Structure 1
Amino acid sequence: MDRKFQIGEIARFFDISASTLRYWEDKGVLHPGKKSENQYREYTIEDLMTISDVIFYKNLGLQLKEICGMEASTPKQHQELFAEKIVELKRQQEMLTRRMKKLRYHMQAVEMLEMLKAQPYQETDIDTDCVVSFDLIERDKLCRYIENPYLYTRVQDSQSLPQEQRGITVSADMSSSFPESSILWQKQSARYITFLMKEEVTTGFPNDLPEHLVYIQETYRTGAIISRFLLCAQENGKTYDFYKTFVEIQ
């Protein structure tokens, strides 16, 4: 006599819940028998094979309604379905790659913040070629910012700090695609000192840029100021926008 299995045994054997097995039955994937005296489900060896196949196909990303039709499908229909799944997986893979890239940007921003705290006022080359104006209603530029917030850049001059301009950084080869009137700053042969600038997210948005400038100007004449956004975070109970700031020195 063929052995029969109860739903609890099957659930433990496949490490899936009994409710999942009942759901598959409701959707027509499984057809277990039932004892006449108590209507308890009984699963056969054939049912174990069916469940194994369902798990196999689900691991391939197939939906239950697709699995239900597998046995009635021709080899060509199998091939077409699997080809669709490969395309779908490639899209998911691309999405995950973009998501990982964004997470790495954020991790790098945190690492940069800590490095600037530990080593302020280092002379370094500036890491942007061109800054163009940025208005939040400009969809293309907004999408660039969403992909990488570090592109958001503020442009100032040491002699006129309040006249701040806000833009987004672009590569040198892309600068020609923007009208000249939108270019706020372009990289020149100059020396720069970098430090961490923080701006409190509160009324008036006070920042510590003037304090940094006073210190640097004890040694150098200063020119353009380029501040690139790192992240918004709390420090000592206050919320700040943190920027990697470059000051042109002579």
Structure 2
Amino acid sequence: MGEPRFYDIKDAARYLGVAPSTLRYWESRGLISAGRNAANDYRRYTVHDLIHASEIAFYRKLGVPAKELESYRTLSAKGLDAALALTEANIEQRIAELEAMRARLAQQRALNAAAEQLRHSGMRPARPAIARLSAIDYDAPEPWKVLVEEPWRYGVFIDARNPALVHEAVADAHPGKETVLWQRIEAEHNTGCLECLLKVAPSMDASNVDELLDRARASGVEPENVAGTYLLTATDDEGRWDFYRAWIGGMRTQPTASC
């Protein structure tokens, strides 16, 4: 058998994908060991040392705390397998959480794209994509759970007779005791509906609703209300806004819009 090959701490750290300080820390906790160069007392690692250290690096990537790894040295093969089975269960949970995060990320990007499309397309006849807006019961836990998990169901309702007042709402909540602020009206002879991009300041003390109402009138609809669902919060040339996909409903004065 030939002489063993030794690796210094820099090479060992590079092969393992960790910092040299990490190897020193693991050694201080008794997780790995290293020999010493008799000439200069520098650490030196054999292939076996690196194999053992690679297991520690793998467990750390799995999220096993260094303190918990100290007990791994005393485990039997069966005990180690049980510990790894628990780690595997935790990983499965993390994967599910990441999948949920990816789905929400995709949803948010779709909402961002919808805002951009509305910004370019302007106001257009369209049937509302939601069925109703209900007032938020601030004392009940249910609306908050829905809105935190699905913020795109946060909505606003504005009565065209008092456009400065913005009512907070939740879209398409399960029917209950909540007050229905707005409900989609299926196509009728004199109704009109226009889709547009609503901007409301986060403080709710400013919006572009007056401009939208004027544009609706110019499009042949006498507006009665505005219903919107949340898309995103972002900054443009005029400031920082909450952007909503909104629908202006009202009576047609010209045969140009319906929903």
2:95 paired residue among 93, 96, 99: 93
**Matching residue of 1:213:** 213
Deviation string 1:180-211 (CA, Å, 9 cap, x unpaired) is x5222233314521111223456x72222122
Identical pairs, percent:
21
Q: What are the ranges of 5 or more consecutive residues in structure 1 without an aligned counterpart?
A: none
Q: CA RMSD in A?
A: 2.6
Q: Measure the CA separation in 2 of the matches of 1:89 and 1:82.
A: 10
Q: How far is the alpha carbon of 1:162 from its aligned partner?
A: 4.7
Distance 1:76 1:216, change over 3 A: same
* Offset of residue 78 of structure 1: 2.6
Equivalent in 174, 178, 183 of residue 180 of structure 2: 183
Contact 1:105 1:148 in 2 (8 A): no
Partner of 1:8: 10
C-alpha displacement of 1:2: 2.9
Counterpart Cα distance in 2 of 1:6 and 1:161: 72
SS at match of 2:221: coil
State the alpha-carbon separation in 2 of the partners of residues 52 and 211 from structure 1.
64
The SS at the match of 1:127 is coil
User: Aligned partner of 1:235: which letter?
Assistant: D
1:10 to partner: Cα distance: 1.9
TM-score (norm 2): 0.81
Secondary structure at the aligned position of 1:242 is classed as strand
56-65 vs 223-232, greater mean Cα deviation = 56-65
After the TM superposition, which residues 75-154 of structure 1 pair with which residues of structure 2 at under 5 Å, given as runs?
75-154=77-156
Q: SS state of the match for residue 249, structure 2?
A: strand
C-alpha contact (below 8 Å) 2:133/2:227 kept by paired residues? no
Tell me the CA shift for residue 36 of structure 1: 4.7
Verify the 8 A CA contact 2:164 2:205 in the aligned structure 1.
Answer: no
Distance 2:211 2:75 in 1: 73
CA distance in 2, matches of 1:215, 1:64: 63
After superposing on structure 2, the runs of 4+ consecutive aligned residues of structure 1 that deviate more than 6 Å are none
**CA offset at residue 116 of structure 1?**
0.9
Structure 1 partner of 2:23: 21
Mapped to 2, the partners of 1:206 and 1:227 lie a distance apart of: 15
Residues 58 and 160 (structure 1 numbering): CA distance in 2 closer, same or farther, change over 3 Å?
Answer: closer
Match of 1:245 in 2: 246
Give the direction of change, closer, same or farther, for the CA distance of 1:11–1:192 in structure 2 (3 Å limit).
same
| CA deviation profile, 1:3-61 (whole Å, cap 9, x unmatched) | 33322332233343211111110110112222455432232232122123323433444
Kept in 1, the 8 Å contact 2:128–2:247? The answer is: yes
User: Contact (CA 8 Å) 2:62, 2:91: kept in 1 or not?
Assistant: no
Structure 1 counterpart of 2:257: none
Give per-residue Cα distances to partners, 1:67-113, cap 9 Å, x unaligned. 44445323432332122112211221232223223322332222111
Unmatched runs of 5 consecutive residues or more in structure 2: 253-259
Shift of 1:160: 4.2
TM-score normalised per structure 1: 0.83
User: Which residue does 1:227 correspond to in 2?
Assistant: 228
